């Protein structure tokens, strides 16, 4: 699943291809991808809208149009491709935006898990899904005190994946952040000390910044644009690894909150 660095990379890549383009129409081939509004309203409202910018909020892409934000969550397999509008539709292209320059922006999703919302710009931040999101990793409000207020009596790995606390952290980066912080993923979040909380904040920022620098992580099928893969997988320390890079002990793989979790039992002692 694309996490914050991958979505940020897609945003930066895609804006070069679509900025200032006018959407003449949209065709929906898989209705469930459109979460709001209705298919008919979506198709009518997006006509003749110009893409002025693409922003990011957590794992959501935000296409800034004249009157709306088009929100897009890539989920497991979502990708965007540019095509000529005369090119035949490919099997997994479920939403197609036709531009006035005779090109298309095509949303491709083999598993059909992606979601889109078309929200009025003056209401978007007060509506779902944006109003449910936590702080961005670089927000100055992300402090030890904030985490103390937000964390529950759950494993810290589970809490790092909670998008209502900190946005953008997924399974891969949670493992990396906890390894660098020397925190066992099973540790109950409310038991962490101030030093642990500060380490989580600091290493969250460092790991995500480095991942963005390398264009994200390609473990399975992620592409920032067609045929372009991330390179941060070459810098992973524990996720999918077999040996700890520090003590050379065997890396454990367990299940925490339903997610496969990699950690070093020696370097990340349970508390």
Among all residues, which ones are annotated catalytic? Answer: 2-3, 59, 259
Q: Are 103 and 33 in contact (CB under 8 A)?
A: no
d(CA 47, CA 70): 12
Structure tokens at 56: 């990011």
136: left (phi over 0), alpha (psi -120 to 50) or beta: beta
Are the C-beta atoms of residues 189 and 156 closer than 8 Å to each other? yes
Please give the Cα distance from 262 to 179 (Å, whole number): 9
How many helical (H) and strand (E) elements, i.e. helices and strands, does the chain have? 6, 12
CA 5 to CA 10: how far, in whole Å?
Answer: 9
Q: Measured between alpha carbons, how far is 255 from 34 in angstroms, rounded to an integer?
A: 32
Sheet of 22-28, strand order:
49-50, 22-28, 93-99, 103-108, 79-84
């Amino acid at each position: 699943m694309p996490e914050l660095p991958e979505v940020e990379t897609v945003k930066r890549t895609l804006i070069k291809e679509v900025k200032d383009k006018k959407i003449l129409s949209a065709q929906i081939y898989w209705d469930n991808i459109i979460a709001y509004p209705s298919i008919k309203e979506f198709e009518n409202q997006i006509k003749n809208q110009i893409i002025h910018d693409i922003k990011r909020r957590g794992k959501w892409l935000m296409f800034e149009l004249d009157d709306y934000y088009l929100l897009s969550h890539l989920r497991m397999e979502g990708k965007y491709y540019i095509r000529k509008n005369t090119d035949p539709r490919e099997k997994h292209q479920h939403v197609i935006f036709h531009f006035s320059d005779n090109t298309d922006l095509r949303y491709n999703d083999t598993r059909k898990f992606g979601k889109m919302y078309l929200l009025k710009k003056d209401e978007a931040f007060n509506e779902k899904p944006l109003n449910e999101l936590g702080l961005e990793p670089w927000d100055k409000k992300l402090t030890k005190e904030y985490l103390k207020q937000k964390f529950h009596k759950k494993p810290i790995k589970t809490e790092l994946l909670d998008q209502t606390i900190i946005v953008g952290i997924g399974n891969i980066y949670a493992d990396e952040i906890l390894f660098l912080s020397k925190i066992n993923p099973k540790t109950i979040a409310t038991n962490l000390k101030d030093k642990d909380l500060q380490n989580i904040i600091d290493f969250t920022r460092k790991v995500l910044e480095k991942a963005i620098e390398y264009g994200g992580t390609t473990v399975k099928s992620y592409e920032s644009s067609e045929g372009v893969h991330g390179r941060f997988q070459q810098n992973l320390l524990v996720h999918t690894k077999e040996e700890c890079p520090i003590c050379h002990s065997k890396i454990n793989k367990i299940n925490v909150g339903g997610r496969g979790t990699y950690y070093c039992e020696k370097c990340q002692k349970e508390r």
